[in-house]
Structure 1
Amino acid sequence: MDGCSIQNTMVLKRPSSFKKTLMKDHYEFLSVIGHGGFSQIKLARHRLTGVEVAIKIIQKVAQNRPAFSEPNILRSLDHPNVIQLFQIVETQKNFYIIMEYASGGQLFEHVPPGGMQEEEARRFFYQVTCAVAYCHDMGIVHRDLKSENFMVDARGNVKMIDFGLSTSITSEKNFHEFWGTLSHLAPEMVLSQAYEGPPVDIWSLGIILYFLLTRSRPFMAPTTHELLKLIVLGSYNIPHHVPLQARKLIQEILTLNPKERPTAKKILEHPWLTQGEQYLPPHGTKSLIKRPDPEIMTIIFDKGYDIYKTWVSLANRKFNAAMATYLILEHQKSHGESCTLQGKPVPPRVKPHPLGMDMSHLPVLPRRSSSEPNLCTFPLPSQNQLPKEAKEAEQKVTRSASLPAIPLQFLTTPDIASRPDSEQPHAKKQRWKQKEKKAKVLEAVMSNILYYMECYKCYE
C-alpha cells in the first residue's frame, strides 16, 4: 500500500520536478534582487548566452491569485518602454516569468533631492506616458503605477514592470477593487466607487510627474485617514520651482472628475512634452516577428534547436526555451552586442556543423489562396532518412492536410572537424561539396518555410 502511494506521489511530482530541472539547466540563479506584492524577483544568467535576466517567481497560493494573469498580460505586450518578456515556465507550485534585466535600477532611485532637471524629467515622463498609452491601446490597465514600478535599463531608457494588479479593459466594464499604493490612489478608488481603468492610471501619472520634479508626493499626511481625505478633496500644493507648463499639466491630470482627465495620448501632445528634444514616437512598438533574423537562426541551429519549431514558437508567441534563446540573442544584437552562445543545454541528436551563410536576400513570399498548389517538400537523401521518433513526432503536429511537414533533421551531419587530417584530397573535396550542398538546401528550406508560414496563416 505504501509502495503504491509513493509511486503515485512521484508520478504527480514528475512534471513539476522536470520543469524545475529545465529551469536550472537553462538558467543560473545568482541573487535575490527584489520582492513584489505577490512575488520574488531573482537575478539569473541564461547559460547558453551568458546574458543576465530577471526571473519573477509567483507562488500559486490563494493570496497571490490576482497576479496569476500577469504571464498572459506580458505575452500580449511588446513595446520599447515595457519590460521585455523572454520565457514563461509554469509548474505545479510556481509561475516563472523570465524577463530582460534593467540594470539601471528603479526610476525612483534616479530622482535627486528637490527633483530632476526639467529636461531630464521631461524625457523620463515622456517614456513613462508612452508605455501607459501603449498599454491602454492594447486594452490593459496597470492599476499600480508609481516610480518604483518603472525600471531604467543600461541605456537610460524607462521600462514598465510589475503587472500583478493589471487587468484587461473591456467596453462598459467598471472595476470595484480597492488596491494599489495609497499615495497614488485615485479619488474614485478611495470613495469605493465603480471606476474605469484608464483614468485611474492617468491620476497615477500625475503623481509620478509631481515626484520627478520635486521628489515628494502631492498628497502627504501623518495618518492614512488624513491622507485619503486630502486625495478626495484634491488638496495639494506645487512648489514654485516647478516650471509653469509642467505645473499646468499636473493640474490637468490631477482632476477629481475622472471623465475630465486627459488620456495618455492627449498628455503626450501637451506643450510641456512637445517642446525641446524630440523623442521616439509614442507607439514605437517593435513589429511582430514576420521573418526571423537569419544570423540568429543560424546560431540557434548550430546549437541543436530545430529552426522550424523555433520559427513556429516565434510566430505563435509560445515563449518557450527556443523562443527565449532567440529573443535574448535579438536583444543582444539590438543593443550592439555580439550574438554568442556560451553553453550547450540543448543536446542535438547529431552535432550540427556551423553554417556561415547569408540568407538576407530571401524574398518574403506573398500569401497564397487555398486554391493554389500545395507546398512541396524537398526529397531527402536515402542515407539521411528521418529517425523513427522524429516521424512519430511529426505525425502528432496538428495542421491542415494540404500543408506537409518540413523536416530539417537531415541537415545535421557528423562533426567534420573530428575526422583525421590525413584524408585523401578526393575525400576532402567530397566533404566540401556536401557542405556547400547542405548550405544551399538550408537556404532553400528557409525560403520554403516562409511560404509555409504564409500558407499557415491562410488556413488558420
Structure 2
Amino acid sequence: MHSKSSEFSVVPQGPGSCQEKAFTDHYQVLKDIGHGAYGQVILARHLHTGAEVAVKVLPRSMSENLVHSEILAMKTLNHPNVIQLFQVIETHKQIYIVMEYGVGGSLFDFIPPGGMREEEARRLFRQIASAVCYCHKMHILHRDLKPKNIVLDARGNIRIVDFGFSIMFKPGQKLTEFCGTLDYLAPECVREEVHEGPPVDSWSLGVILYFMLTGHRPFRAASMKGLMWKILHPKLKFPWRVSAKAKRLIKKILTVDPRARLSAEEILADPWLNQGEEKLPSHDVPFPNLSDPTVLTMLFDMGYDPYSTWVSLSQRKFDGAMASYLIIQRQISQGAGCIKPGRRDPSIFPALPQRRASKPALHTFPLPCEHHQPQEAKESGQKSFRRASWPAIRLRFLHEKPPTPRLASQHHSVFDSPEPCPSTTDSHVSQDATTGHPQGHRKGWKRVRQRIAACLRRLCCCTPLCVGEIEVATPGEQKPARFTNRVVPT
C-alpha cells in the first residue's frame, strides 16, 4: 500500500531551484508554499498578466506514469470546483505544472477545532461532492481526497487539487493498487483486496464530511495497526450539535461494504445535502470557450501571434499562449474587469493604456503598420501599441483565390479558418500565401496600409471613437472603406 507520508521523500529545494530559463521567461518565483511527497509547490507570478499561480515542480527522475497520469487528469477535467491547469513546462531537469492558486488556503486550515457550522459545511461539501461526481463521470479517480488536498479560492469556493495518485478507469474495472492517506483510506484498501475505484473516493468523502462537522477525524489511534483496526470496525460517535440527517448521511457513506456504500452521485441526491438549496447544476460542465474575442484581443495586445494562438488553443497545448488565455479568462470571470499586471520590465513588456475605475475595460489592438508607432517606442525598439483614442482595427487575411489577392469575407477570421495566415504583430509582411510572389504581395499590403492610415487620420480628427470592420478595396477597385459604427467605451 502506497502512502504519501511514508514511502517517498523528496529533499526540499526551495524556490531558488526554479531558475531554468524556460520557466523564468514566463513566471517570477515568489515563495515556497508547500512540499508534497514527490516535489515542491511554489507561488509564482505570471509576468504577462500579473496573476499569482501555483506551480508544482516535479523532478524528471520521477516515474513517467505518475507524472503523465496527473497531467492527463488535469487536462481532461474542467469543473468550477476542480483546480484549473494553465500550462505544462518540461525541461531536462524538471516538470513545471502551472495551475490556479487557491488563495484562501487549504480546507484543513479552514475547519475550526470544534467543527464548522452545518450550513457552511453543507455548502462546501456540496461543491466537493459535485467535483468528485464529475471526476467519476469523466472516468477519473482521485484516490487521495482529504482536507489538505482541497483549497479555497478568493470567494470561499472549493477547488480539489493534487491529482498525483489519480488514474483513468473503466466502469466495473477491478483495481489491485492501493494508495492514499491511511486516515482517509477505505476498508477494502486497508485489507488490500481487489476493489473498484469510485467507492474508495466515496469513503474519503464521508471522512471529510465528518471532519468538517466535528473538527476531528472519525478514526484515531496511537499506532497504524490500531488505526487500521478502527477503519475495519467503524464505531462512529457524533457531538450533540450534529443533526440527525447529517449523521444518517455519514453512516451511509462510511459503510464497510463498498457495494452498500453511497456513490458520489447518490451523495449529491441526499436530502440533507439539498436542504434549503437550489437544484444542483449539471455535472457535465462544458470546456471553457477558447474563442472569446475579448480575451483574444488582449492576447493580440500582448504581442501573441494570432495564428499561433489559434493553433495552441485548438490543439489544447497548454503552452504559454494558452496559459495567458486561460488566466485572462479566469480574471474576467472573477470580476477582475481588466488585467492587473505585476512587476514589469517596460523595455520588454510595455504597459497597456490606463483607465479610470469608473470606466469599463477597453481592449485594444496594436496598429498593423509603422506609421502611428510612438517615437519613443521606435527608439527603444518596442512593439507598437495604440493609444486609447485610436480605433480598433480587425485586419482580414488573404483569401486563396488567384490571380488577384483579395481580402477574406467579413464572416471569417483567423480563428475560423484552419489555413495559416500571416502574422500581424510584426511591421513587415511575409511572402504572399496565394501567388507566391513576395514583391507583389508587399506592394499590395503597402496600398492596404496606406488606405488604413488615411482612414485612421480622418477618423481620429473628425469623428468620435468607434470600432468597426473595414473593407479595403483591392487594386483596380473603387470601393471606399466602410465602417460599422459600434461605440467603444473609453
Q: Same fold (TM over 0.5)?
A: yes
After superposition, what is the alpha-carbon deviation per residue over 1:138-178, rounded to whole angstroms, capped at 9, x for unaligned?
A: 11000000011100000000000000001001244222222
For residue 457 of structure 2, what is the amino acid of its counterpart? W
Question: Match of 1:86, SS?
Answer: strand
Q: Distance in 2 between matches of 1:154 and 1:427?
A: 45
Asked if 1:409 corresponds to 2:438, the answer is no
**Aligned residue for 1:36?**
36
Q: Distance in 1 between matches of 2:425 and 2:468?
A: 9
Matches within 5 A, 1:261-410: 261-278=261-278, 280-281=280-281, 283=283, 285-289=285-289, 292-340=291-339, 342=341, 343=344, 351-354=383-386, 357=392, 376-377=399-400, 405-410=419-424
Cα distance change of structure 1 residues 341 and 318 upon mapping to structure 2, 3 Å threshold: farther
Cα distance change of structure 1 residues 380 and 269 upon mapping to structure 2, 3 Å threshold: farther
Question: Match of 1:259, SS?
Answer: coil
Cα distance change of structure 1 residues 217 and 380 upon mapping to structure 2, 3 Å threshold: farther
- Tell me how far 1:105 sits from its aligned partner: 0.2
Cα distance change of structure 1 residues 340 and 356 upon mapping to structure 2, 3 Å threshold: farther
Partners of 1:210 and 1:217 within 8 A in 2: yes
- Tell me how far 1:280 sits from its aligned partner: 5.0
Partners of 1:303 and 1:352 within 8 A in 2: no
For residue 208 of structure 1, what is the amino acid of its counterpart? I
- Tell me how far 1:20 sits from its aligned partner: 3.0
Question: Match of 2:41, SS?
Answer: strand
Q: Distance in 1 between matches of 2:44 and 2:188?
A: 40
Identity of aligned residues (%): 44
Cα distance change of structure 1 residues 427 and 110 upon mapping to structure 2, 3 Å threshold: closer
Asked if 1:181 corresponds to 2:181, the answer is yes
- Tell me how far 1:193 sits from its aligned partner: 0.3
Asked if 1:432 corresponds to 2:432, the answer is no
- Tell me how far 1:309 sits from its aligned partner: 2.0
After superposition, what is the alpha-carbon deviation per residue over 1:214-241, rounded to whole angstroms, capped at 9, x for unaligned?
A: 0111111111101101111223322232
Asked if 1:190 corresponds to 2:215, the answer is no
- Shifted more, 205-214 versus 107-116: the winner is 107-116
Cα distance change of structure 1 residues 80 and 37 upon mapping to structure 2, 3 Å threshold: same
For residue 324 of structure 1, what is the amino acid of its counterpart? A
Cα distance change of structure 1 residues 356 and 215 upon mapping to structure 2, 3 Å threshold: farther
After superposition, what is the alpha-carbon deviation per residue over 1:18-70, rounded to whole angstroms, capped at 9, x for unaligned?
A: x9313101100000001112121000000111111000011122468534421
Question: Match of 1:248, SS?
Answer: helix
- Shifted more, 236-245 versus 204-213: the winner is 236-245
Cα distance change of structure 1 residues 295 and 380 upon mapping to structure 2, 3 Å threshold: farther
- Tell me how far 1:288 sits from its aligned partner: 3.8
Q: Distance in 2 between matches of 1:427 and 1:269?
A: 60
- Tell me how far 1:113 sits from its aligned partner: 1.6
Q: Distance in 1 between matches of 2:421 and 2:288?
A: 25
TM-score (norm: length of structure 2)? 0.70
Question: Match of 1:241, SS?
Answer: coil
Q: Distance in 2 between matches of 1:157 and 1:409?
A: 40
Question: Match of 1:143, SS?
Answer: coil
**Aligned residue for 1:121?**
121
**Aligned residue for 1:130?**
130
**Aligned residue for 1:75?**
75
**Aligned residue for 1:111?**
111
Cα distance change of structure 1 residues 86 and 442 upon mapping to structure 2, 3 Å threshold: farther
Partners of 1:175 and 1:194 within 8 A in 2: yes
- Tell me how far 1:337 sits from its aligned partner: 0.7
Cα distance change of structure 1 residues 244 and 155 upon mapping to structure 2, 3 Å threshold: same
Q: Distance in 2 between matches of 1:406 and 1:77?
A: 30
- In terms of fraction of residues, the more helix-rich structure is 1
Q: Distance in 2 between matches of 1:96 and 1:62?
A: 13
Partners of 1:380 and 1:410 within 8 A in 2: no
Q: Which has the higher contact order (CA 8 A, sep 6+)?
A: 1
Partners of 1:38 and 1:64 within 8 A in 2: no
Cα distance change of structure 1 residues 237 and 442 upon mapping to structure 2, 3 Å threshold: farther
Q: Distance in 1 between matches of 2:402 and 2:458?
A: 18
- Tell me how far 1:282 sits from its aligned partner: 5.0
**Aligned residue for 1:369?**
none
- Tell me how far 1:298 sits from its aligned partner: 1.2
Cα distance change of structure 1 residues 317 and 346 upon mapping to structure 2, 3 Å threshold: farther
Question: Match of 2:237, SS?
Answer: coil
Question: Match of 2:25, SS?
Answer: helix
Cα distance change of structure 1 residues 131 and 358 upon mapping to structure 2, 3 Å threshold: farther
Partners of 1:85 and 1:99 within 8 A in 2: yes
CA RMSD of aligned residues (A): 3.4
Question: Match of 2:73, SS?
Answer: helix
After superposition, what is the alpha-carbon deviation per residue over 1:338-382, rounded to whole angstroms, capped at 9, x for unaligned?
A: 3337457689998354485498xxxxxxxxxxxxxxx94488999
